[in-house]
């Protein structure tokens, strides 16, 4: 992939300060904006989508296996499931150390091993049982999240065509990404405008003059201002951002 032939190779370094999720969104926006469409952007997006799909599929498998394992264990242990770790602990206890046995109902059996200063034989099992329901809940939540994140590009391309990203929407959305999702939290407005101008230049080869006195790029600033003054366009941009990120309400 040569830097001369691929806008993606030129644009990606300009997005490095963005959080990973915001970088993905910025790449989508650049793909939608680019004329003609750069195949490298499409390849990058599809590869990223494929990773998300495989991660979601693995979580579904994990959730299914955990749920089945829970049912199988409950079928064997019945009401003694909760005391399963203590049953194993009791089997490890020595009769000559009966004085070290915990007081029933007051101190759990794990204290026996701590008093002897020896490893608890079922510490891992105990930790697993505490995490078990949390991992299942996590899997369900993340499956839904990844499904949204990996929506086919075609469905978004129809809703957010190249025309949508004209009229200042491209500049406004990128400005919001740099403002809210940059690792360089104190990046000034002028620097953000200059970064957006650099990205635009790599995508359409246009040149927008920098304000040498005030800093920033007047053409980018004006594009953003037009969106801010147009409630419909502003709302459309923020709806897009909220559909892709945990975007703060303005």
- What average pLDDT does the segment 67-94 reach? 88
- What average pLDDT does the segment 49-54 reach? 88
> 95 and 12 in one domain?
no
- What average pLDDT does the segment 56-70 reach? 95
pLDDT of residue 107: 52
Q: What is the 3-state secondary structure (H, E, C) of 46-100?
A: HHHHHHHHHHHHHHHHHHHHHHHHHHHHHHHHHHHCCCHHHHHHHHHCCHHHHHH
> 210 and 183 in one domain?
yes
- State the Cα–Cα distance between residues 32 and 36, nearest whole angstrom: 10
Q: How many helices (H) and strands (E) does the chain have?
A: 11, 0
Last residue of a domain, one of 104, 119, 149: 149
Lowest-confidence segment of 125-134, 186-195, 203-212 by average pLDDT: 203-212
> 96 and 135 in one domain?
yes
Q: In the structure, what pLDDT confidence band is assigned to residue 18 with cuts at 50, 70 and 90?
A: very high
pLDDT of residue 247: 65
- What average pLDDT does the segment 20-33 reach? 87
- State the Cα–Cα distance between residues 210 and 220, nearest whole angstrom: 10
Q: How far is CA 72 from CA 77, 105, 140, in A?
A: 9, 28, 20
Last residue of a domain, one of 149, 174, 208: 149
The better pLDDT of the pair 95, 133 is held by 133
182 phi and psi, to 5 degrees?
Answer: -95, 145
> 141 and 173 in one domain?
no
pLDDT of residue 2: 44
Q: What pTM does this model have?
A: 0.65
> 233 and 200 in one domain?
yes
* pLDDT(38) > 80: no
Residue 137 belongs to some domain of the structure? yes
The better pLDDT of the pair 50, 7 is held by 50
- State the Cα–Cα distance between residues 13 and 145, nearest whole angstrom: 27
pLDDT of residue 162: 78
Question: What share of the chain has pLDDT > 90, as a percent?
Answer: 36
Residue 26 belongs to some domain of the structure? yes
pLDDT of residue 242: 87
> 98 and 129 in one domain?
yes
> 106 and 144 in one domain?
yes
- What average pLDDT does the segment 52-64 reach? 94
> 183 and 137 in one domain?
no
Residue 159 belongs to some domain of the structure? no
> 193 and 127 in one domain?
no
The better pLDDT of the pair 113, 76 is held by 76
**Segment holding 5, helix H or strand E:** none
Give strand pairing partners of 182.
18
Top mean-pLDDT range of 180-189, 228-237, 238-247 = 228-237
Last residue of a domain, one of 124, 149, 174: 149
- What average pLDDT does the segment 19-27 reach? 88
On the 0-12 / 13-18 / 19+ scale of CB atoms within 10 A, 111 is: middle
> 183 and 103 in one domain?
no
- State the Cα–Cα distance between residues 250 and 123, nearest whole angstrom: 47
pLDDT of residue 56: 93
Q: How many domains does the chain have?
A: 2
> 68 and 22 in one domain?
no
- What average pLDDT does the segment 119-147 reach? 91
Question: Taking all residues of the chain, what is their mean pLDDT, rounded to a whole number?
Answer: 83
Is the separation of the CB atoms in 53 and 151 below 8 Å?
Answer: no
Residue 42 belongs to some domain of the structure? no
Which domain covers residue 211, as residue numbers? 7-37+166-244
Residue 171 belongs to some domain of the structure? yes
> 180 and 133 in one domain?
no
Cβ neighbours of 238 (radius 10 Å): 18
């Amino acid at each position: 992939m040569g830097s001369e032939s691929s806008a993606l190779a030129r644009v990606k370094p300009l997005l490095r300060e963005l959080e990973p999720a915001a970088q993905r969104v910025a790449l989508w926006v650049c793909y939608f904006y680019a004329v003609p469409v750069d195949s490298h952007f499409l390849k990058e997006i599809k590869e990223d989508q494929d990773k998300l799909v495989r991660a979601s599929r693995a979580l579904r498998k994990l959730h299914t296996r955990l749920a089945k394992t829970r049912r199988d264990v409950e079928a064997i242990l019945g009401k003694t499931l909760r005391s399963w770790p203590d049953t194993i602990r009791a089997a490890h206890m020595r009769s000559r150390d009966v004085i070290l046995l915990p007081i029933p109902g007051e101190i759990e059996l794990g204290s026996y091993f701590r008093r002897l200063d020896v490893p608890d034989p079922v510490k891992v099992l105990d930790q697993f049982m505490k995490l078990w329901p949390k991992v299942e809940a996590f899997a369900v939540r993340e499956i839904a999240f990844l499904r949204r994140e990996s929506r086919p590009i075609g469905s978004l391309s129809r809703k957010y065509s190249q025309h949508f990203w004209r009229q200042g929407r491209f500049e406004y959305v990128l400005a919001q990404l740099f403002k809210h999702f940059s690792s360089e939290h104190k990046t000034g407005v002028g620097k953000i405008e200059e970064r957006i101008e650099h990205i635009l230049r790599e995508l359409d080869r246009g040149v927008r003059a920098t304000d040498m006195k005030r800093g920033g790029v007047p053409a980018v600033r004006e594009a953003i201002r037009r969106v801010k003054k147009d409630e419909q366009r502003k709302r459309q941009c923020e709806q897009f951002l909220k559909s892709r990120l945990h975007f703060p309400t303005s």
